[in-house]
């Protein structure tokens, strides 16, 4: 009897587990079949509070904000897993076109120019443009901008609107910058007279900087934020249905109240600037220092990988140049010419955005950065290593060859060690250059030291303090590297 009960219990447990597995599997299939994918990648520019920004408290690296909450609601209702990537704003549309992401949420407005290249959802939040200027400027209408220098963020609807204003109002000079904090800082430094910024963002900067004011630009044209998709995306219709539901049931209204009514994104405390001088208050970034420091390991990892792989690649190129085989020499020289003759930032953008289109491989931002810096530094190092090899006394190679030592073994055991010892200072300089140039990978969304500082600045509506702290970190790292290299060089001289 006991055995029979045990069997029945076992069968019951198996049945329950089987039903739950089948149910869960059918639900997952349903989630996948509704959109065709289980995981969707959203790309954003998290330097635009309160739409999207980093929660930097306690060193966390979690992107939060109005758009993020909407995306999470969409993921829950449509049954997909949400993966978030980041980039500068002007890199969002190229990322869609390169199939690096399934959709963009970054407070983006569906303009006719953008609609030629990408598709949009319905507008989920309407916003207005404002003129941000020093307090007392009394710049309230587009006509008031006559003869003024006007700042805008590159690639935004505000840039397009500023161009339209400049066509109607003579004498306006436009200055485009990558980030809104940079635009605001240009106002504070007096390089520009005003800027066009979205009202919700302008409100945060005005609260954190009492020396600024903003005035809404009257407009009859409705504008607002929508979700961007690759051209012809099948996700537009299901996203629109959920967005409309969120409008109808009040979910969107609650999120608007959460993020805009009380300026939740303004993590800073307003402070009155000192008159007649620069007001620096590093206490405002104290809670965010752990967040900035978390960029150090990634910066060092990036530098170490780039230097190591660049040294290997540079050595190979240098050997190709001195082998005496003309086709190989020509290829190595042409390669060096191309990579030394084009900007590193251009190479980085091409590797990051073109690789998925050309190869189908979705290269990560870190991989793209390491690959680009390896290819670039290898071109520079090849010339340095070639010079070091040719500086080694010819008697060394002649002696090795007379003893019957194979060429490659001679190079590895005899020539290269001496050459590397001779060019050690040059290699250290290249390593220091790579460490500082690693800040360029922030343009494709790698959160290293500089990007971390920029994120804190955007969240706090300040500029100088986090960047100065980032500069101090770079200086300490470079000094540590310089001292270590000096000690190694001294030890090598003593061992001779």
Asked whether residue 302 falls in the same domain as residue 377, the answer is yes
Residue 232, in any domain of the structure: yes
Give the confidence band of 348 by pLDDT, cuts at 50, 70, 90.
very high
> Is the pLDDT assigned to residue 317 strictly greater than 70?
yes
Task: Give the pLDDT confidence of 272-309 residue by residue, as tens digits.
Answer: 444 444 567 788 888 888 989 999 999 999 999 999 99
126 membership: H or E segment, kind and range: strand 125-126
Check whether residue 364 and residue 481 sit in a common domain.
Answer: yes
Please, which pLDDT band fits residue 451 given cuts at 50, 70 and 90?
A: confident
Residues 241 and 184 in one domain: no
Check if the beta carbon of residue 122 is closer than 8 Å to that of residue 226.
yes
Task: Specify the CATH number for the domain of residue 84.
Answer: 3.40.190.10
Mean local confidence (pLDDT), 398-416: 71
Do 426 and 468 fall into the same domain? Answer: yes
Cross-strand partners of 63: 54
142-184 tens-digit pLDDT:
999 999 999 998 878 888 888 889 888 888 999 998 888 889 8
State the CB neighbour count (10 A cutoff) for residue 221.
5
* Same-domain pairing of 68 and 166: no
47-68: burial string, b at 16+ Cβ within 10 Å, e else:
bbbbbbbbbbeeeeeebbbbbb
| Same domain for 462 and 364 | yes
Q: Is residue 249, in this structure, part of any structural domain at all?
A: yes
The per-residue pLDDT for 422 is 76
- Into how many domains does the chain fold? 3
Query: Using one digit for the tens of pLDDT, what is the confidence trace for 180-215?
Result: 888 988 898 889 999 999 888 888 888 888 889 999
Within a domain: residue 77? yes
What percent of the chain shows pLDDT beyond 90? 35
In a domain, 382, yes or no: yes
3-state helix, strand, coil in the chain (%, to 5): 65, 15, 25
Domain membership of residue 13 (yes or no) is no
Q: Domain end: 214, 248, 279, which one?
A: 279
Residue 39: strand, helix, or coil: strand
* Residue range(s) defining the domain that contains residue 423: 291-494
Asked if residue 285 is part of any domain, the answer here is: no
In a domain, 471, yes or no: yes
Burial class from Cβ neighbours inside 10 Å (0-12, 13-18, 19+) for residue 438 reads buried
Report the C-alpha gap between 229 and 74 in whole angstroms: 14
382 lies in the same domain as 452: yes
Helices (H), 392-463: 394-402, 407-410, 416-422, 424-437, 449-460
What does the alpha-carbon distance between residue 34 and residue 42 come to, in Å, rounded to a whole number? 18
The string of pLDDT tens digits covering residues 17-53 is 343 433 343 343 333 435 778 899 999 988 888 899 8
Task: Place 389 in a pLDDT band, splitting at 50, 70 and 90.
Answer: confident
Size of the chain, expressed as the number of residues it contains: 496
Question: Which candidate, 181, 71, 196, places its Cα nearest to that of 140?
Answer: 196
| Average pLDDT of the residues in 446-474 | 87
Q: How far apart are CA 162 and CA 49, in angstroms?
A: 21
Q: pTM higher than 0.75 for the full model?
A: no
11 pLDDT above the threshold of 90: no
H or E element: which one contains 374? helix 365-391
Helices marked H in 56-118 — which ranges? Answer: 66-78, 92-97, 112-115
The string of pLDDT tens digits covering residues 234-269 is 999 999 999 999 999 999 999 988 888 754 444 433
Q: Contact 95/197 with Cβ under 8 angstroms?
A: no
Please check the confidence at residue 13 and state whether its pLDDT lies above 50: no
| Predicted local confidence at residue 220, as pLDDT | 52
Give ∠ CA 335-341-347 in degrees, rounded to 5.
80
State how far the Cα of 174 lies from the Cα of 483, in Å rounded to an integer. 45
The whole-number pLDDT of residue 25 equals: 37
DSSP per residue, 255-318: HHIIIIIT-TT--S---PPPTTS----GGGGGGGHHHHHTHHHHHHHHHHHHHHHHHHHHHHHH
Contact 75, 35 (CB under 8 A): no
- 2 has a pLDDT exceeding 70: no
Q: Are residues 265 and 353 in the same domain?
A: no
- What is the arithmetic mean of pLDDT over 119-146? 91
- Based on the fold, state whether residues 313 and 176 are members of the same structural domain: no
Q: Give the domain-ending residue among 199, 222, 245.
A: 222
Q: Are residues 449 and 345 in the same domain?
A: yes
Q: Give the other-Cβ count within 10 Å of 79's Cβ.
A: 15
Asked if 66 and 215 sit in the same domain, the reply is no
Q: What residues pair up with 48 in beta bridges, in sequence order?
A: 52
Residue 104, helix vs strand vs coil: strand
Q: Would you say residue 407 lies in a domain?
A: yes
Phi, psi of 446 (to 5 degrees): -75, 125
Predicted confidence band at 475 (pLDDT cuts at 50, 70, 90)?
very high
Between 399 and 358, name the one with better pLDDT.
358
pLDDT at 19: 36
- Domain harbouring 472, CATH code: 1.10.3720.10
Of 177, 203, 222, the residue at which a domain comes to its end is 222
Please check whether residues 200 and 231 belong to one and the same domain.
Answer: no
Find out whether 208 and 461 touch, Cβ atoms under 8 Å. yes
CA dist 317 and 321 (Å) reads 6
């Amino acid at each position: 009897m006991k055995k029979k009960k045990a069997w029945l219990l076992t069968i019951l447990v198996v049945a329950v587990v089987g039903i739950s597995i089948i149910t869960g599997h059918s639900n997952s299939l349903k989630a996948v079949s509704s959109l065709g994918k289980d995981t969707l990648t959203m790309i954003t520019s998290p330097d635009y509070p309160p739409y999207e920004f980093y929660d930097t408290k306690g060193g966390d690296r979690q992107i939060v904000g109005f758009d993020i909450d909407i995306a999470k609601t969409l993921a829950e209702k449509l049954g997909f897993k949400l993966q978030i990537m980041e980039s500068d704003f002007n890199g969002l549309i190229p990322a869609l076109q390169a199939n690096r992401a399934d959709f963009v949420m970054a407070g983006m407005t569906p303009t006719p120019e953008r609609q030629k290249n990408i598709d949009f959802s319905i507008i989920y939040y309407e916003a207005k443009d404002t003129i941000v200027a020093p307090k007392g400027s009394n710049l309230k209408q587009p006509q008031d901008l006559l003869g003024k220098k006007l700042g805008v963020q590159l690639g935004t609807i505000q840039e397009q609107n500023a161009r339209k204003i400049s066509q109607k109002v003579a004498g306006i000079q436009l200055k485009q910058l990558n980030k809104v904090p940079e635009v605001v800082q240009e106002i504070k430094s007096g390089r520009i007279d005003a800027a066009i910024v979205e009202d919700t963002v302008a409100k945060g900067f005005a609260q954190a900087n009492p020396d600024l004011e903003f005035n809404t630009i009257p407009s009859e044209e409705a504008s607002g934020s929508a979700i961007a998709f690759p051209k012809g995306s099948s996700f537009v219709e299901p996203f629109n249905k959920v967005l409309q539901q969120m409008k109808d049931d009040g979910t969107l209204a609650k999120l608007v109240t959460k993020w805009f009514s009380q300026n939740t994104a303004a993590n800073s405390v307003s402070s009155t600037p000192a008159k007649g001088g620069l007001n620096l208050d590093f206490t405002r970034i104290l809670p965010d220092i752990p967040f900035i420091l978390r960029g150090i390991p990634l910066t060092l990892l990036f530098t170490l990988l780039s230097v190591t792989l660049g040294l290997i690649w540079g050595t190979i190129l240098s050997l190709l140049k001195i082998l005496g085989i003309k086709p190989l020499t020509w290829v190595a020289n042409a390669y060096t010419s191309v990579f030394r003759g084009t900007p590193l930032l251009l190479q980085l953008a091409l590797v990051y955005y073109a690789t998925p289109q050309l190869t189908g491989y979705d290269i990560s931002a870190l991989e793209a950065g390491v690959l680009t810096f390896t290819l670039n530094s290898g071109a520079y190092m090849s010339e340095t290593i070639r010079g070091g090899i040719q500086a080694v006394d010819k008697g060394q190679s002649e002696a090795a060859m007379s003893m019957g030592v194979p060429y490659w073994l001679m190079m590895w055991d005899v020539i290269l060690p001496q050459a590397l010892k001779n060019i050690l200072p040059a290699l250290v300089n290249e390593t220091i250059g790579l460490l500082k140039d690693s800040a360029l990978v922030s343009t494709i969304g790698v959160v290293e030291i500089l990007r971390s500082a920029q994120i804190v600045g955007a969240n706090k509506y300040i500029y100088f303090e986090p960047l100065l702290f980032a500069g101090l970190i770079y200086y300490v790292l470079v000094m540590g590297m310089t001292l270590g290299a000096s000690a190694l060089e001294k030890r090598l001289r003593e061992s001779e």
